[in-house]
């Protein structure tokens, strides 16, 4: 059975924790898109980790972790991340890398940095990890697949020189930087070849056989619905599809094999980078939520940047669940909100004097003002509670109000950052 774990919001919803938790009863975990530009924070028996490219189920000795063909593969980052885990006492993980995955090249990072510098105040808020240049090259058909490392060296070298001939025109005449040496890039690819050699396989065949044998497979997405290239807050989005539908492509399996889509929804809102954010809050109110949020403050796991904060946005979250095709929801970081007297929930957007419950395109989103429904807080600590019925009534009311707005059953409620700080619940929507 194949289950996808994806985000409904702007990313940072807690997908890493949910993946790490569900991986305990799974066989294979697949990263299917994105690269090292975002981190999944995980707290388990081995400690606290921020994974950037490895799947979040990598901590179990019975699992196989896969880098799918849809990933922007930074080979050095992958090897460094594996080594760092082992040094911290994690057993040597079993890793497979798709021979069709494309390599994030050193010049992709340079181009990302150069372009953000050139744009100045109109930049996209990139993590400068090379993601947009990588995917641009992939679809311009001038990227490098892993399997090319093991082909004819002369052909590989010729391609490097050919690609950099046009790249260097931009480097010198648009960005006014020193040209990139193709010989250095070629030699780096030869180093990559030896680094990645032990992990390479035909992942689509491997997964085909695993599905046939009844293995339990998790597809782990990066970021969330609102950062999807097509359906997010374009152009302030990532450069790959963050949707569960793409999981089939990015892993190399038939779309009909995805039977369950666990969509992770944050109990309040946060976002890193630029873009429209209707329920955003500011000042002391935002600082307090940021300080208390997450597992040690709301700061980007990759960049360390303070996240923008906001109240729960039912309009954006319902839309995020819909385009993911959510079959169930995991509601996370609920424990953070116990200090509040009241909990505003954005239930609509006012645009040009009209209120809508539907998430609009970016041009309309820029004009949107939040319409709030305010619920009472529960003013108590809920960490340590194991049963849903033991939660304070106001807390249960908050969950059930959100579930009604999402129109998807909330089956899991996270009330702490640890692996097993989770409450399972039966939803009336499942009956």
Tell me the catalytic residues.
Answer: 12, 40
Return d(Cα 331, Cα 14) in angstroms, integer.
9
Whether omega before 235 lies within 30 degrees of 0, making that bond cis, reads yes
5 contacts 18 by C-beta, under 8 angstroms: yes
> Which residue is listed with tokens 């109240």?
311
235 contacts 245 by C-beta, under 8 angstroms: no
Instruction: List, as one string, the DSSP characters of 284-319.
Output: HHHHHHHHHSTTTSSB-TTT-PBPEEE-EEHHHHHH
- Give 176: exposed, middle or buried? Use CB within 10 Å, 0-12, 13-18, 19+: exposed
User: How many CB atoms lie under 10 A from the CB of residue 173?
Assistant: 9
Identify the CA nearest to 238 among candidates 248, 254, 251, 250.
Answer: 250
Return d(Cα 116, Cα 134) in angstroms, integer.
15
**What are the structure tokens assigned to 164, written together?**
């950099």
Contacts 24+ apart (CB under 8 A), 298-301: 298/12, 298/270, 300/12, 300/38, 300/39, 300/127, 300/272, 301/12, 301/38, 301/39, 301/40, 301/41, 301/50, 301/52
313 contacts 405 by C-beta, under 8 angstroms: no
> Which residue is listed with tokens 């709030």?
372
Instruction: List, as one string, the DSSP characters of 5-18.
Output: EEESSSS-SSHHHH
The residues that bridge with 413 in the sheet, in sequence order, are 331, 423
Q: Are strands 328-332 and 258-266 parallel, antiparallel or unpaired?
A: parallel
3-state SS, residue 248: helix
Return d(Cα 361, Cα 363) in angstroms, integer.
6
Contacts 24+ apart (CB under 8 A), 241-244: 241/33, 242/6, 242/7, 242/11, 242/33, 242/34, 243/6, 243/323, 243/324, 243/325, 244/4, 244/6, 244/219, 244/324, 244/325
């Amino acid at each position: 059975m194949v289950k996808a774990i994806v985000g409904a919001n702007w990313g940072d919803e807690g997908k890493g924790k949910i993946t790490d938790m569900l991986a305990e009863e799974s066989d294979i975990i697949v990263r299917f898109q994105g690269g090292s530009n975002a981190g999944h924070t995980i707290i388990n028996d081995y400690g606290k980790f921020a994974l950037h490219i490895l799947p979040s189920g990598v901590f179990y000795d019975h699992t196989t972790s896969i880098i799918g063909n849809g990933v922007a593969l930074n080979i050095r980052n992958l090897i460094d991340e594996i080594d760092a885990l082992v040094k911290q006492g994690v057993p040597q993980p079993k890793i497979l890398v798709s021979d069709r995955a494309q390599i994030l090249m050193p010049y992709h990072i340079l181009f990302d940095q150069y372009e953000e510098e050139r744009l100045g105040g109109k930049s996209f808020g990139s993590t400068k990890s090379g993601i947009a240049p990588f995917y641009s090259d992939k679809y311009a058909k001038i990227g490098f697949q892993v399997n090319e490392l093991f082909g004819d060296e002369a052909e590989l070298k010729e391609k490097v020189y050919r690609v950099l001939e046009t790249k260097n025109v931009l480097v010198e005449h648009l960005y006014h930087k020193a040209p990139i040496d193709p010989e250095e890039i070629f030699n780096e690819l030869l180093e990559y070849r030896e680094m990645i050699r032990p992990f390479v396989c035909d992942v689509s065949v491997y997964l085909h056989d695993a599905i046939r044998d009844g293995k339990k497979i998790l597809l782990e997405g990066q970021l969330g619905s609102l950062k999807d290239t097509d359906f997010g807050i374009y152009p302030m989005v990532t450069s790959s599809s963050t949707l569960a539908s793409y999981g089939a492509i990015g892993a190399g399996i038939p779309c009909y094999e995805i039977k369950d889509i666990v969509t992770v929804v944050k109990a309040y809102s946060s976002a890193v980078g630029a873009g429209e954010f209707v329920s955003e809050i500011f000042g002391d109110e935002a600082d307090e939520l940021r300080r208390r949020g997450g597992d040690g403050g709301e700061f980007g796991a990759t960049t360390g940047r303070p996240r923008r904060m906001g109240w729960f946005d039912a309009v954006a979250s319902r839309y995020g669940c819909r385009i993911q095709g959510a079959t169930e929801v995991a509601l996370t970081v609920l424990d953070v909100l116990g200090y509040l007297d009241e909990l505003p929930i954005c239930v609509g957007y006012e645009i040009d004097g009209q209120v809508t419950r539907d998430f609009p395109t970016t041009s309309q989103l820029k004009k949107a003002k939040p319409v709030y429904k305010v619920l009472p807080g529960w003013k108590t600590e809920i960490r340590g509670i194991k049963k849903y019925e033991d939660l304070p009534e106001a807390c249960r009311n908050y969950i059930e109000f959100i579930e009604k707005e999402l129109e998807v059953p909330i089956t899991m409620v996270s009330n702490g950052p640890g692996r097993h700080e989770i409450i399972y619940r039966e939803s009336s929507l499942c009956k």
